[in-house]
Chain A
Amino acid sequence: MTSEGQVNLTTICTPSDDVVAREIEGEIVIVPLVAGIGDADDELYTLNPTGQAIWQKLDGQRTLKDVAAALADKFAAPLANIENDVLGFASELVRRGILAVSKA
């Protein structure tokens, strides 16, 4: 896996094999498979609306630049701002092992 330091706009990210994601009541909940055995306290992640919109575009085909362009178009927002959001989101989730870098 590539570290978050190597995430850039040409990177392609996909959900890691070490997590399960499921849409629950309109919210994406992510559960790690490699956490401790026992209760699930504090080891569940939910995405805010921005994160959710990005997550749904991470199809293993698009680069982060493509993802940002699609979202900028969808939300009629400045591309530079969206690219920053996408890069920040992807870097954080790669760092947490939730996203895997499939191509950089």
Chain B
Amino acid sequence: MPDCRYYQIGGLTVQVESDLPITETTFQPKFKCFEVAGPGEDNVIIRHHFAPLNLEKMDLGRCVYRKAPWAIYRKGDTWIYLAVSAPMKDTEAGDMGVLSADHTHAEMYHAREDSFRRGNWQSLSMFTTDQIWLAPVLADRRAVLLHSAGVILNGQGLLFVGHADAGKSTTVTLLKDAGIGVEILCDDRNVVRRWLPPPARDGGAPHPAPPPPVTREGEWRVHGTWSHGDVADVSPASAPLRAILFLQQDTRNEIAPLTDRKEIWKRLLVALIRPMVTAEWWQKEMNVLEQIVNEVPCYTMRFDKSGAIVAELENQLRISSLSQHNAIRSFQ
């Protein structure tokens, strides 16, 4: 009987099974807050097996991508991912994932047990990142994985978007240090998902994992992930996405509406985390981005490191709260 744990992310429940025991130290401590008691309404299954791979004798199918750390093959309806380093032949890979067409089912094969037993894994898939399965699964659920920092402030989700040195972790740290009760979702990767109201339950057995959030029609929510940057705080929580703020370090502290749709598009496109892409994946994700551009208020946030931007954010949220009360959608 394989060992089994469950984790939630972006409204999904990930069922992780292993032929070897999963201990408290198998995965990094950051996963602890994502752990749930059992399967949910929408599940992804990852199974870990340990045995020599013998890839020389295996028909891997057609190679569709090869650039370290990945070699990816397509065989029938399955995707085969090999973890490779630059000088290595694909058949020398020590870890292989066989994923279903929709990436909701992964059989992971590992040639060595020792690294698993050593533990402290930063991903549930035991690859360098869980993005390879998460990003395709999200595309089928009106969701995107964005290079961003996410927080919940006064019950409202804020997403800060910018390139690697734009100040995502700095912003999160400023908010955290301000002591205003901010909940950090993640400072580097967050899920933005458009939720529809859940269908009426038919009285079936309850799920051990938390149910999807109760939402308004077509509500956008931001969900935390475990893929953090400099700030180790992460959370599986979610909140209505009130605003996307594009970061720009400056000598001023100012939040201004960004209404240039072309500019919003460009900034979101470069923040989109990509898996092994297909034309179908891109089209789905661009549909989601188009809806975000149309429906989520966007701003530029110029800020210095003094922390003065925190008061500006709080002020904007206060105004936003009043606006919502009057059924006005804007952040302002």
Residues on A close to B: CB < 8 A?
17, 20, 22, 24-27, 29, 31, 33-34, 36-41, 44
Contact = CB atoms under 8 A, between A and B. Distances in A.
Interface in B229-243: none
Interface string B242-268: 000000000000000000011001100
B111 interface: no
Given A25-B261, A36-B67, A20 B274 contact: no
Contacts of A34: 65
B277 A44 contact: no
Minimum-distance CB pairs A-B, first 8: A25-B262, A20-B282, A20-B279, A25-B261, A24-B265, A40-B270, A41-B270, A33-B277
Contacts of A31: 269, 277, 282
A25 B265 contact: yes
B283 A20 contact: yes
29 contacts: A17-B279, A20-B279, A20-B286, A22-B282, A22-B283, A24-B265, A24-B286, A24-B290, A26-B262, A27-B262, A29-B265, A31-B277, A33-B277, A33-B278, A33-B282, A34-B65, A37-B65, A37-B67, A37-B132, A37-B276, A39-B147, A39-B270, A39-B271, A39-B274, A40-B272, A41-B163, A44-B266, A44-B269, A44-B270
Given A22-B286, A34-B65, A37-B131, 4 more contacts: A31-B269, A33-B277, A33-B278, A40-B272
A24 B286 CA distance: 9
Contacts of B282: 20, 22, 31, 33
Contact of B273 (A17, A38, A44): A38
Contacts of A36: 67
Contacts of A39: 147, 270-274
B52 interface: no
Nearest to B268: A40
A19 B148 CA distance: 26
A22 B280 CA distance: 12
B181 interface: no
Contacts of B274: 37-40
Contacts of A22: 282-283, 286
Contacts of B270: 39-41, 44
Interface string B64-95: 01010010000000000000000000000000
B155 interface: no
A30 B241 CA distance: 28
Contacts of B279: 17, 20, 33
A29 B65 contact: no
B208 interface: no
A37 B72 CA distance: 11
Nearest to B72: A37
A2 to B, nearest CB: 22
Contacts of A20: 279, 282-283, 286
Contacts of B271: 39-40
A37 B262 contact: no
B269 A29 contact: yes
A25 B278 CA distance: 23
B277 A24 contact: no
Contact of B269 (A17, A26, A40): A40
Contacts of B266: 44
A44 B262 CA distance: 14
Interface in B272-326: 272-279, 282-283, 286, 290
Max chain B Cβ within 10 angstroms of own Cβ: one of A24, A25, A37: A37
Contacts of A41: 163, 270
